[in-house]
Structure 1
């Protein structure tokens, strides 16, 4: 009899899922933002729960005057016999209200003005910009004092309004300059051409891209409001009958607290303002860190989420330089993980040129970056291993990984022409990787840089040029030279020639092949162009929906493709000679990688599919010829049940079909 285990209660971690995911989760994962948020919540709780935290009335002068801190009065008393702790707790209410309310109003005004000026441009934009500049050049504190004195006695609301109306121009100016760069981006032009309304473009297209700057403006303005209220109260212009940290400083100054030795009267509100300012600053830094993709670069290493011991499921590496075994990788999203690489095994031999081909979104770049620990957040490795010269890259510490990168392996990124820093000379950028690995002698650096430029076919004089002085093909060669600077054993090239014309592409690829043969390095070359890989590669792996569906020597793929997907890819390129032929392409689209696929991922698009088999079982990779493997039931008939990793169950076998 089968005994069913009782259902487990929901884990506490599941209940806190909202804290780990979404915008709040990003903020919480930043140490700076988390510290600032905790400080702000503590200060807010002081004001909200003031009646529970103290039994004293902040305005009642019923105690001894100028009493030092004691058990009865933890922060002492004022010259009027008031408890300073009670004033500090109750004063947090108005101080935070003024800061946050002023920050919200000023941010709304500044955001509206800055985005409107950037989007509309012309006379409207110049008019808004002129008004902003006029307010900006007026001295802030004197203007605040004059306006506040004119509205003296109008209450807290007037103080909030005055601070907000004098604190918005700086944020509007910064937002306008940033929004102007967005205004010329292609996605904004596309939205205009499709007839979207200005309001929708501003608030749905531009605003989300400026969230980090808007948040920074809010916290800066909130801090400005707190300090402004304290300054106004200190000089007696604010409403000194209310209890705020600013009025506490006013009364301490008026009663000459420091001259009488009552330092605690000044220290308590001063420390409160300093802590509030620190909280705002930390939140500001933290939000910028999590909202800026470049700053949020996972600090150099891909997240590894595989279970302890999961790397033990290995495959013999056969002397491979790079052995990727059963790698699972993808992206963590609020809706769940997206497995962009699914149980992939790929071995690269020393000196081998391996091509990786497939449609966009099939996992080629994710595989390369996960295997080399360069998959940016929210990317992560869920399981498997990646061994370079026998060392599991996924098990290295960040410091160990830093010593391996560029020396043992390097990368040439997609659109890598944008990798070069436009304000630094090419020479310094070529030197950078070598200097990071201990090469500091100027003569050695210069000699190696010149050698690299000769190697990739660039005149040595361009070492002293800036990137904008080079053509696209030359910049691409510079990036390849940087990747080869320390003579790594492996270079991963992610579509390095996509943006170049075909003549320059061929020149660069010939240079790459010559360098590979001369230095004996291994190359993983990722591209959509299967005809290019057939010419350049020793071996080709075809990826589809995160899996390698076929792998074989390049000529074998060209002359005898086995998988229906590979066959469709090969017929997608028309011949340059011979009779005209109609090319049909591949109907449909790849499946979603956010769901588990029960059968062959190519089932819906395959013209040779077998319902009842292909849609319910996962084909294992079978070797149909020496070195030629394919994951397809046409060549690996199923006699047992297959689990999602492609292994057989129930004692079944995958029969290897002969050619």
Structure 2
């Protein structure tokens, strides 16, 4: 129920569709209250026009059309919902079985699905219905349900196959969970939106199929449905008699029902499809109105200025502050490295600043100014115009964001077309230029993603991010899952492109040794806070914070005697509570009880352009957080 309410709340189209469907159900259930006339009664005049006692007129046999429309809704909706449930159940069972068991089972099921897809739908229905003629409504429901499942099974099998390879499903299998438990507890909930969409599509197919069968006289035409109303209207020559209302009433009702199903389907897609979400939504900003503006930085205006940024996730248990009072600048043309352990807030910081943090993510306070404009204050439409033109992103494991069924050329064109570039010659010339820039051949534009290696796909994504020459590119661990040789090649190309185009790069990784070589400046994050920030060479030569020193000592040198290397003991503090002390206290080898566990160190400049938040280097205590957190 909560999921249904979420869809209706977040999608106006789904709400309109649900309202239409609910209205039709209420009209069908309340038919005896809305009219005292029997739908089969022939006690009235024939071919009466709409008006008076007969708002929709009468038929050639003197039957009231309004009564037939209301009572006909009962069987029509029953056929749609029941056949839809049967077909969706079969599609779900078949699709999940094929995906989970794979091998020979998948091959057999796939052949069966293909056979049903190849068979023409309406002729198959006609033949099956002819054999079951006289079986009434139940026969129609069974026929439609048993012939309408194949398309849904194909889609569900495809999505379930991708889900079957996900880490959490593999982990469930590895721990010995049974097939039923994995399918129903791990896979099925993640396919709920797709299954619901399949149901409404199949229900619409069932309604249209019943109307088609009834219109050509196959099925039980003695029953009152919207389809049989159309049958008797054409059989009695309603249009020849000028009685257009006999055909218009059931035809319009079927069209409205189809509209309701389609709108609900669109609503489900809006809520569950990431592409649709990102196209129309932006990260929630919960900062309170009237919050004092952050103080401007001294010196030249930075390209990107984060001021007291607080962000995280809104959960039933309260706010999880994954980014805590972060202030950070990126100069034009600068290569800024952002490093830290997994879970320290690096990606959340990048996505919050650029308004790409998905729900339940939210920005709680602060500012994120790009070229002087606060991104957190822009409308979704304004953000759409800014994204990719003024800043772009290369996501973690971004190789997987390429659409497998589109050629690379169309995907490179996409961002440019969204920002007004329509000339095909200009698009092609720019695409070739971009591929040359990132070390790819122009012939690769004609390839599909599966025809490219991992390193080549990563270069494609970087080329797309550079398409409109943005001032800033944020790269979230773009070389993850690539071998070290390809990593180095791509990083060198990124740095070369940055210097040639004069763009700024924020490069996020947990590999500090990589950043020391590539970056102009490095910021170290821990527990959602920036604990140290300095030029790369200075940070490498003279790290100040104990966390930074331990991060650097975790990577072995390439020369010198062999040494035992160990990780940092312990774990970061929980981010769903306030941390009014040094967040690294529990893991710090140089901690000072009574000070570090009682006060939070201020982030101060200890030497030129070198800032650190540690009581070992400054006695300054941090003041209360700048941003007032919104309650939610």
TM-score normalised by length of structure 2: 0.85
Query: Is 2:570 aligned against 1:588?
Result: yes
Residue in structure 1 matched with residue 182 of structure 2 by the alignment? 201
Matching of residue 66 in structure 1 with residue 47 in structure 2 = yes
Contact preservation (8 Å) 1:340, 1:593: yes
**Which residue of 93, 101, 104 corresponds with 1:120?**
101
Aligned to 2:200: 219
Structure 2 CA distance for aligned equivalents of residues 284 and 374 of structure 1: 24
**Would the aligned equivalents of 1:540 and 1:554 in 2 still touch at CA under 8 Å?**
yes
* 3-state DSSP of counterpart to 1:294: helix
Q: Which moved more, 1:518-527 or 1:236-245?
A: 236-245
What corresponds to 2:474 in structure 1?
492
Greater displacement, 349-358 / 589-598: 589-598
- Native 8 Å contact 1:212 1:292 kept in 2: no
Question: Once structures 1 and 2 are overlaid, which stretch shifts more, 281-290 or 601-610?
Answer: 601-610
- Structure 1 residue aligned with 2:262: 281
In the alignment, the residues of structure 1 paired with residue 419 and residue 117 of structure 2 have an alpha-carbon distance, to the nearest angstrom, of 48
Residue 166 (structure 1) aligned with residue 153 (structure 2): no
1:413 shift after superposition: 2.9
Structure 2 residue runs of 5 or longer lacking an equivalent are: none
Q: Measure, in 1, the Cα distance between the counterparts of 2:136 and 2:444.
A: 67
Q: Which moves more between the two structures, 582-591 or 123-132?
A: 123-132
Question: What do the CA deviations read for 1:12-60 (whole angstroms, capped 9, x no partner)?
Answer: xxxxxx7xx6454135423332222221111112122334434444444
Equivalent in 60, 64, 84 of residue 103 of structure 1: 84
User: 1:169-318 alignment to 2 at 5 Å?
Assistant: 169-183=150-164, 188-234=169-215, 238-299=219-280, 301-310=282-291, 312-316=293-297, 318=299
- Per-residue Cα deviation, 1:282-332 (whole angstroms, up to 9, x for no partner): 222332343232333243744444344447234436322211112223345
Q: Which moved more, 1:315-324 or 1:470-479?
A: 470-479
1:321 matched to 2:303:
yes
Contact residue 329 and residue 339 of structure 1 kept, 8 A: yes
CA 1:22 to 1:537, structure 2 compared with 1: closer, same or farther past 3 Å? same
Q: Partner of 1:339 in structure 2? A: 321
Alignment of 1:26-45 (within 5 A): 26-45=7-26
Q: Distance in 2 between matches of 1:558 and 1:339?
A: 29
Name which of 346, 356, 360 aligns with 1:364: 346
CA contact (8 A) 2:7 2:14 kept: no
Q: Could you say which residue in structure 2 is the equivalent of 1:386?
A: 368
1:74 partner SS:
coil
Q: After superposing the two structures, state which structure 1 stretch, 214-223 or 375-384, moved more.
A: 375-384
Q: 1:334 to 1:229 in 2, by over 3 A?
A: farther
Q: 1:566 maps to which residue? A: 548
Residue 526 (structure 1) aligned with residue 496 (structure 2): no
State how far apart, in whole Å, the 2-side matches of 1:448 and 1:156 are.
60
Alignment of 1:544-563 (within 5 A): 544-563=526-545
SS in 2 for 1:281: helix
Alpha-carbon distance, 1:591 to partner: 3.5
Are 2:584 and 1:602 aligned?
yes
Give how far 1:363 is off. Answer: 1.6
Q: Secondary structure of the equivalent of 1:361?
A: coil
Report how far residue 414 of structure 1 moved: 2.5
Distance 1:566 1:264 in 2: 79
Distance in 2 between the 1:544 and 1:262 partners?
Answer: 76
Secondary structure of residue in 1 paired with 2:55: coil
Distance change in 2, residues 1:39/1:568 (3 Å): same
Alignment partners' CA distance in 2, 1:234 and 1:287: 32
What CA distance in whole angstroms lies between the structure 1 residues aligned with 2:443 and 2:221? 70
Task: Verify the 8 A CA contact 1:58 1:90 in the aligned structure 2.
Answer: yes
- Which secondary structure does the structure 2 equivalent of 1:493 belong to? strand
Q: 1:229 to 1:518 in 2, by over 3 A?
A: closer
Q: Which runs of 5+ in 1 are unaligned?
A: 1-17, 648-659
Change in 2 beyond 3 A, CA 1:445/1:253: closer
Contact 2:407 2:448 in 1 (8 A): yes
Conserved? CA contact 1:92–1:244, under 8 Å: yes
Are the counterparts in 2 of residues 621 and 646 from structure 1 also a CA contact under 8 Å?
A: no
Contact kept, 8 Å, 2:309 with 2:627, in 1: the verdict is no
Whether the 8 Å contact between 1:298 and 1:376 is mirrored in structure 2 is: no
More deviation, 520-529/247-256: 247-256
Q: Does 1:624 align with 2:606?
A: yes
1:385 shift after superposition? 1.6
| 8 Å Cα contact 1:317-1:323 kept in structure 2 | no
Q: Which has the higher contact order (CA 8 A, sep 6+)?
A: 2
What do residues 586-638 of structure 1 show as CA deviations (whole Å, max 9, x unaligned)? 22333343444454433443445566665565444233334333334555547
- Equivalent-residue separation in structure 2 for 1:129 and 1:513 (angstroms): 47
Q: Are the counterparts in 1 of residues 281 and 380 from structure 2 also a CA contact under 8 Å?
A: yes
Alpha carbons of 1:139 and 1:456: their partners in 2 closer, same or farther (altered >3 Å)? closer
Are residue 87 (structure 1) and residue 68 (structure 2) matched?
yes
Q: Deviation per CA, 1:375-431: give whole Å up to 9, x if none.
A: 345543333221122222333344544444444333333333445566766666666
Secondary structure of 2:266 counterpart:
helix
CA offset at residue 105 of structure 1?
Answer: 1.4
For 1:235 and 1:252, the matched residues in 2 are separated by 12
SS of match in other structure, 1:384: strand
8 Å contact kept, 1:415–1:499: yes
1:531 positional shift: 2.0
1:439-478 to 2 correspondences below 5 Å: 456=438, 471-478=453-460
Q: CA deviation at 1:211?
A: 3.4
Alpha-carbon separation, structure 2, partners of 1:286 and 1:125: 31
Give the alignment partner of residue 76 of structure 1, picking from 44, 50, 57: 57
Q: How many residues align?
A: 627
Number of the residue aligned with 1:541: 523
Query: Against the structure 1 CA distance between its residues 518 and 211, is the aligned structure 2 distance closer, same or farther, given a 3 Å change threshold?
Result: same
1:3 maps to which residue? none
Alpha-carbon distance change, 108 to 334 in structure 1, aligned in 2, over 3 angstroms: farther
**In terms of mean alpha carbon deviation, does 79-88 or 422-431 score higher?**
422-431
8 Å Cα contact 1:619/1:642 also seen in 2: no
TM-score by length of structure 1 reads 0.82
Q: 8 Å contact 1:352–1:523 — kept in the other structure?
A: yes
Aligned Cα root-mean-square deviation (Å): 3.8
Which secondary structure state, in structure 2, belongs to the residue aligned with residue 90 of structure 1? helix
1:408 matched to 2:390? The reply is yes
In 2, Cα distance between the equivalents of 1:50 and 1:111?
34
